Structure 1
């Protein structure tokens, strides 16, 4: 669910390039984290959320997530870095957003299945990217984000008949955890970038 997945397509024997590419895009990761935290706040303060409002919020977040991934893919391609996984991740998010836009009357059960699939696919991409990231560049934070995404998806699959209000609360908790890990990763990457010698 993120541009940091650019490392997922990088060969295992190129950890320095992968970490460097990620560090240069720390600002995009920070924006993604702040967006997740904003989404979490809305999920908890929105009084009496309905299914329609939930669909709107999720569609908007997925669209932003997908656009940032595609933009990062273009930047990676221009720098000669791996970009295929970024495009894939972006398309997954944009597809989820598109489904919600053209099917605003989606049932709670269908929405839960869609969210679960989106979270699990993105989570595995993030975990794969974490293994190719240098430890000092925030591997733990990226791995935690991926694990949180997968666990959230599995939890949704395990309870497919919960109501819209409960889904909103679950989304709020997940978005808070994801946002904190992304902001922490961005801060770590910025610090590593500032300590790198100028080219």
Structure 2
């Protein structure tokens, strides 16, 4: 596992850098950040629904009795996309709940990864700490989801900056943990 992570150390660090950038955007342009999240989600839901619906319609020449499932998925996606455009507040609240669930799952998985890496690299607590911050963030968002978009965005921004810095730290530690054969030799 260490060799896999060490080979891709830069991906972990890049993920952290993107999180830090997103966090600063949440602080300095919170309304734009929330609007962008809602618009991207709505566009994705509508596009996904349209593709699923097209798949269901285009499959009519085949003998498939399960096309109704794709059609239903398509209609659901189009409906959620439309709901996003006509009621962005509900979408923003739902998106916060999705973010909380994602953060909780990510935090647990980061802790699991750190426990698996504990014998292979020193100071795996960086990854454990990133996981604990993600779990704490999830519980805070679930505890007060309607506390205000600005406060929640600042919480999201803080979480993204802290986790981003921790992930950059993990990436740099993984870079140093690479086996000698995996290190890029200058020409």
Structure 1 length-normalised TM: 0.62
What 5-or-longer segments of structure 2 have no aligned partner?
42-76, 183-187
> How many angstroms does 1:51 deviate by?
4.3
Matches within 5 A, 1:28-177: 28-46=11-29, 48-49=31-32, 51-56=34-39, 102=81, 104=84, 105=88, 107=90, 108-134=92-118, 136=121, 138-177=123-162
The Cα RMSD (Å) is 2.5
**Against the structure 1 CA distance between its residues 114 and 106, is the aligned structure 2 distance closer, same or farther, given a 3 Å change threshold?**
farther
Is residue 30 of structure 2 the alignment partner of residue 22 of structure 1? no
8 A Cα contact 2:2 2:117, kept in partner:
yes
Instruction: Give, in whole Å, the separation in 1 of the partners of 2:30 and 2:11.
Output: 30
Instruction: Give, in whole Å, the separation in 2 of the partners of 1:30 and 1:47.
Output: 24
Q: How many residues align?
A: 140
8 A Cα contact 1:123 1:149, kept in partner:
yes
Deviates more, 1:119-128 or 1:130-139: 130-139
8 A Cα contact 1:30 1:182, kept in partner:
yes
8 A Cα contact 1:119 1:152, kept in partner:
yes
Instruction: Give, in whole Å, the separation in 1 of the partners of 2:150 and 2:144.
Output: 13
> How many angstroms does 1:115 deviate by?
1.4
Larger Rg: 2
Instruction: Give, in whole Å, the separation in 1 of the partners of 2:39 and 2:22.
Output: 11
**Against the structure 1 CA distance between its residues 138 and 56, is the aligned structure 2 distance closer, same or farther, given a 3 Å change threshold?**
farther
Structure 2 length-normalised TM: 0.66
What 5-or-longer segments of structure 1 have no aligned partner?
1-17, 60-97
Instruction: Give, in whole Å, the separation in 1 of the partners of 2:166 and 2:107.
Output: 13
Instruction: Give, in whole Å, the separation in 2 of the partners of 1:179 and 1:37.
Output: 5
Other-structure match for 2:55: none
Instruction: Give, in whole Å, the separation in 2 of the partners of 1:56 and 1:143.
Output: 33
**Against the structure 1 CA distance between its residues 33 and 56, is the aligned structure 2 distance closer, same or farther, given a 3 Å change threshold?**
farther
> How many angstroms does 1:37 deviate by?
0.5
Instruction: Give, in whole Å, the separation in 2 of the partners of 1:176 and 1:56.
Output: 23
